[in-house]
Amino acid sequence: MRKAIVSGLILAGLAGGLAAPSLVSAQTAAPDAAAQAQPPAAPTSQRPQRHHALPGERIDARLAYLKTALKITPAQEKQWSALAAVLRRQAQDMDAKMQQRREARQNQDQAQPQAPAGAIERLEQRQQFLADAAKRTGAIVAAAKPLYAAFSPEQKQTADELLAHGGGHHFRHGWR
């Protein structure tokens, strides 16, 4: 936007016969002088404090959306409740894990920095993460199968669309 203003001033100066270069140099010099007058910010060792909502904080809203989108009938309520209970329990488990990671990061920031994990340690961590994810997915599948079997063709189509848009990211969209 600043370039557009400067370009407009130059064109106005040329069209009006004004001395545009002095006007342009005054505008471009002012921000540079202000930037030089401010001392650089001191680097901090603390990570920025960002609060991401925990899955447990969003699960009820997501379940309400799904229930409405899928048009759950009273006859399907029992199967829906079983799936919702699994998803709520998983959200609570994820909340606890995220809180533990946050606390560990805060403690690590206050302590001496650790050496980065080696290749084998990272592979083992990934293996554990994928095993946990497979276990969570298995619980969701076990709870979702009876509900899906009770769906009408329209509900199945909606469920398929919601699951397709989920993209495989836990708690992002759809069933998760």
E strand or H helix at 5, and its extent? helix 2-16
Q: What is the pLDDT of residues 62-92, one digit of tens each?
A: 999 999 999 999 999 999 999 999 999 999 9
Domain ranges of the chain: 55-111+121-166
Model pLDDT, residue 111: 65
Model pLDDT, residue 51: 62
Percent over 90 (pLDDT), the chain: 45
Long-range contacts of the stretch 82-87 (C-beta < 8 A, 24+): 82/143, 82/146, 82/147, 83/140, 83/143, 83/144, 83/147, 83/175, 85/143, 86/139, 86/140, 86/142, 86/143, 87/59, 87/62, 87/63, 87/140, 87/143, 87/175, 87/176
Model pLDDT, residue 71: 96
Q: What is the pLDDT of residues 35-63, one digit of tens each?
A: 455 555 544 445 555 566 788 888 999 99
Cβ atoms 19, 13 nearer than 8 A = yes
Q: Residue 7 above 70 pLDDT?
A: no
